[in-house]
Structure 1
Amino acid sequence: MTDRVLILGGRGRIGSSVALDLATHTQAKITITGRSPETVKGVSLPLGERVEFLVLDLAEVDKLREAIANSDVVIHCAGPFHYRDANVLKICIEQGVNYVDVSDHRSYTSKALNYHEQAAAAGVTAIINTGIFPGISNSMVRQGVEQFDKPEKIHLSYLVSGSGGAGVTVMRTTFLGLQHQFKAWIDGEWQVVKPYSEREVIEFPPPYGRSGVYWFDMPETFTLPHAFPSVKTVITKFGSVPDFYNHMTWITAHVFPKWLMQKRSTIEFLSYVSHFMTDVTNRFTGIGVAVRSEITGRKNGETAVFCSNLVHENTAVISGYGTGSIAQLLLEGKLKHPGVTPVEEALPTDLFMESMQSRGIKIQHNWL
C-alpha cells in the first residue's frame, strides 16, 4: 500500500520544501492543506499526481480528524507556533498516527511535551522541532556531544541571509521572539536573558565570515539541557545578514515600548515591512543559512572543543530536508521512538548522517 502523508500548512515556503523533499526521497502520496481555495490554487509544485490539495482550516476539527485518520504521518507546518495549541498532536495520538512538526517556540514545545506519556502509551512517535534551527542544528549538537566523555557547554549560533527564502510567517516568528525575556541554562542554573542582547561576533564559514549574533529564545535553549544532563551551559544566538538588520532588530527589542510589541497589529506591520525589505536585499545577500555548533567538554581527561559548521544557500529548502528526512525515516520504519520528543533525543547520529548525505549536505567538523 502507498504511504500517505498529510502536510498542514503545506502551501507555505517551508511546507512546500518539505513536500518537495518527500516527493524526491519517498513514493508517498502527499496531501497539502490550505485554509481557502485561493491559497490552494496559488500552490505550484512539480510533484505530479502524487500530490493533492485539501482546503482545511485547523479550526474545522471534524474535517481535520478525518484527514489525520487517513494518513500514515502528519507534518505540522502551520506556524507561527506561538499561537498554536497542541490539538493536531492530540488528534494524531487519538488516531494512532505518527507526527512531525517544524515548531520553533518554547511555548508550543512545552505544550507538546505534555503529551509524551499519552503518545508513548498509544505507540505514536511524535518528533518536534525538526527544521533547520531547531532541527538539523540539534542533531549537530548531539553528534558533537557524543565526542566527549563529559560534555559541559553547548554554544549554537545561527545566521540567516535576508528572508532565508521563507515567507512572512518566519518574520512573525522573529518579532514574536522579541516580546519577552526568557530563561536559559547558564552555569548550572536557569538565568533570565533579554532577547537580542549580548552581541557576539562569530567566525562562520564562507561566504559569511565574521558576523554578529545575539541571544534568541529557541526551544533548544531548554530541550538540550534535558537531553544532555551533564551540560552546564546552553547558549543559542541568532543573527542576520546584512548586519544593519541586526541593529534594527536590537532597537525593536530594546527601544520599542513593550506594550506596543505585544500588539498583534504591530507584529503584522513589522513582519510585512521586513519581508518587503528583504525582497530587495535578497538580491545582494542571497537567502542562505549558516549553523555553527561548538561543544566544550572533557575528553581523555582534558578540556577540548568540537566545532561543527553547516552552510546552505537556501534556508527554506534545508528546513525541508530536516523535516522531510524525519518523515522519510518514519515511513521506512527506520525510526521508532514512542512518545513526544525533540529531534535530538529521537534521532540517532548514524541515521542523521545518512539522511544528510543522501541530500548532499556536508557538515564540517574540527577540534579547536
Structure 2
Amino acid sequence: MAGASLHLLKSQTLLPVCCARAKEEAGNGARLPDKSPNARVLVLGGTGRVGGSTAIVLSKVRPDLRIIIAGRNREKGASMVAKLGGNSKFTEVDIDNVASLEAALKDVDLVVHAAGPFQQAEKCTVLEAAIQSKTAYVDVCDDTTYASRAKSFKNRAIAANIPAITTGGIYPGVSNVMAAELVRASRSESKGEPERLRFYYYTAGTGGAGPTILATSFLLLGEEVVAYNKGEMIKLKPYSGMLNIDFGKGIGKRDVYLLNLPEVRSAHEVLGVPTVSARFGTAPFFWNWAMEAMTNLLPVEFLRDRSRVQELVQQFDPVVRAVDRISGERVSMRVDLECSDGRNVVGIFSHKRLSVSVGTATAAFALAILEGSTQPGVWFPEEPEGIAIEDREVLLNRAAQGTINFAMNKPPWMIETDPKELGLGIYV
C-alpha cells in the first residue's frame, strides 16, 4: 500500500463537502455538491512545521485548492506562500480572538486546525467558530481533554450540517484508523473477540517538529495516564511502564513509556476493545531519561502550567535543535491487537521524516472530508461517520506516502527481528 499514488482519489464516487458558494445558498446547513474544485482550505498554524507541511502536501496533491495560510507572523506567512505558489495567500489570525477567526473563516470550505499545543486549552474556539460559520473542520489535537470537549459539539455540528474530525493527524489520527482496520478485519476473519489493543510510538528527537511537540511532551508529563484493563479504567504514572518494542525495518528496538493519549479512550469506547494503552519513546536514549526525571522531580503543578512549560521549552530549544540535527527525525507507529482465540496481528508505519509524514497524514484527512467521507457531526478517526469504512484504505494509502515500512494485519514475526517485551509495573 505504501507505494500507492497520492492521486488515488475517490472523487468520482464520493460526494465532497461544500464549496463557499454552496455555503451561501445552503440555509440551514452545508449542501454537498458533486465536486469540490477550487475549494478554499484555511490552514491555522500554517507557518509552523505541522501546518506548513500539511499545506505543502495539499498544494501538490490538489493544485486546484485555494490554500489560505493563517498565522501571526507575516514574514513566515509570505515565505510559505512563496513555496506554495499563486493559488495561496496569507492571512493574519489570532485563534483566541473570535472576530479574527470569523473574518478568516468567511467563504472558507475547510479549516485545518494545526495551531497547537492543545494541552491546557480551555475552549474549542476554532471548532465553535467553524460550526457557527458552517465550515468543515479537522484538527491535529493530541490531548484527551480537548478531544473530549470537541466531541461535546457533535449535536451542534449535526444541526449545522458540518462534518468535523478531531485528533486527525498522524498519531493520534492515522494510528486510530490503523487500529479500526485491525479490529474490523479480526472480527470478520476470526472467531475470537479483540481483547487487547496497544499503541506504540517512536520519534527521534522532536521529529523536526520543533517547540510545539516539545511543549506537548512536557505538558503530557503532568497528566495521569488513562488506560483500560479488561474493561476497567485505570490510572498510571506518566512515563512509566517501559517496554522494549521492535519497530522493525529502519527503526529497530526502542524503549517506550506510558503517556496519556486520546486514542486510548476513543479506541476503547468506539472499537469496544477491553484492554487499551499507549506508549511513546524518543531518541537519543538520554531524552527518555530526562523525561522520566522530569516526571519524578518536577511538581505536577509546574508541568500543568502552560506558560511555565513554554518558558522551559524556550530554554531547551537550542539544545534540542542541535541534538535533532544528529538524531534525525524518524518516526514509527506500531499498533498491536490480540484476540481471544490467540490471533495476534500488527500494523506498522515508519517514515524517515516526521515533519513530512505528519503533513501527509493530516492532508489525507483533509482530502477525505473534502471528498465527502465525513458525515455531519464531530467524530474520531476510527468512527465510521468520521472516515467511512470503505474509505479507510484510501486514507492509509495517502498517509503512507514515502514510508520506509508500512504493513497492515500481519503477524508480529513478519515485521520484527527477535520479538521481545520487557514490562515494568502494571502491564496493559
Category of TM-score, reference length = shorter chain: over 0.9
Q: 1:184 to 1:131 in 2, by over 3 A?
A: same
Is the counterpart of residue 285 in structure 1 residue 343 in structure 2?
no
Q: For the Cα contact (< 8 Å) 1:105–1:218, is it kept in 2? A: yes
Residue 154 of structure 1 corresponds to which residue in structure 2?
A: 197
Between the aligned partners of 1:338 and 1:54, the Cα distance in structure 2 is 27
Q: Which runs of 5+ in 1 are unaligned?
A: none
Residue 48 of structure 2 corresponds to which residue in structure 1?
A: 12
Residue 367 of structure 1 corresponds to which residue in structure 2?
A: 411
Residue 235 of structure 1 corresponds to which residue in structure 2?
A: 277
Is the counterpart of residue 67 in structure 1 residue 104 in structure 2?
yes
Between the aligned partners of 2:279 and 2:268, the Cα distance in structure 1 is 16
Is the counterpart of residue 357 in structure 1 residue 400 in structure 2?
no
Q: 1:264 to 1:37 in 2, by over 3 A?
A: same
Listed one character per residue, the Cα deviations across residues 213-245 of structure 1 (whole Å, up to 9, x for unaligned) are 00001111211111112x111110000011111
Residue 51 of structure 1 corresponds to which residue in structure 2?
A: 88
Q: Which runs of 4+ in 1 moved over 4 A?
A: none
Listed one character per residue, the Cα deviations across residues 188-228 of structure 1 (whole Å, up to 9, x for unaligned) are 10111111011111011233211100000111121111111
Counterpart residue type for residue 65 of structure 1: E
Q: For the Cα contact (< 8 Å) 1:287–1:315, is it kept in 2? A: yes
Q: How does 1:1-368 map to 2 (within 5 A)?
A: 2-26=38-62, 27-41=64-78, 43=80, 46-84=83-121, 85-149=123-187, 150-229=193-272, 231-298=273-340, 302-333=341-372, 335-345=373-383, 346-358=386-398, 359-361=401-403, 363-365=406-408, 366-368=410-412
- Cα RMSD (Å): 1.8
State the SS of the aligned residue for 1:103: coil
Q: For the Cα contact (< 8 Å) 2:210–2:321, is it kept in 1? A: no
Between the aligned partners of 2:325 and 2:60, the Cα distance in structure 1 is 28
Q: Which moved more, 1:261-270 or 1:191-200?
A: 261-270
Could you state the TM-score of these two structures normalised by the residue count of structure 2? 0.81
Deviation at 1:360, TM superposition (A): 4.6
Deviation at 1:337, TM superposition (A): 1.5
Comparing both structures, which one devotes a greater share of its residues to strand?
1
Q: 1:177 to 1:112 in 2, by over 3 A?
A: same
Q: Percent identity?
A: 31
Alignment coverage as a number of residue pairs:
363
Q: Which runs of 5+ in 2 are unaligned?
A: 1-36, 188-192, 413-428
Between the aligned partners of 2:133 and 2:84, the Cα distance in structure 1 is 27
Q: For the Cα contact (< 8 Å) 1:16–1:45, is it kept in 2? A: no
Counterpart residue type for residue 411 of structure 2: W
Q: For the Cα contact (< 8 Å) 2:283–2:327, is it kept in 1? A: yes
Q: Which moved more, 1:82-91 or 1:102-111?
A: 82-91
Between the aligned partners of 1:222 and 1:304, the Cα distance in structure 2 is 23
Between the aligned partners of 1:204 and 1:360, the Cα distance in structure 2 is 17
Counterpart residue type for residue 393 of structure 2: M
Deviation at 1:311, TM superposition (A): 0.5
State the SS of the aligned residue for 2:171: coil
Listed one character per residue, the Cα deviations across residues 274-327 of structure 1 (whole Å, up to 9, x for unaligned) are 4323322223321110100000114xxx22100111100111221111211111
Could you state the TM-score of these two structures normalised by the residue count of structure 1? 0.93
Q: For the Cα contact (< 8 Å) 2:348–2:406, is it kept in 1? A: yes
Q: 1:99 to 1:265 in 2, by over 3 A?
A: closer
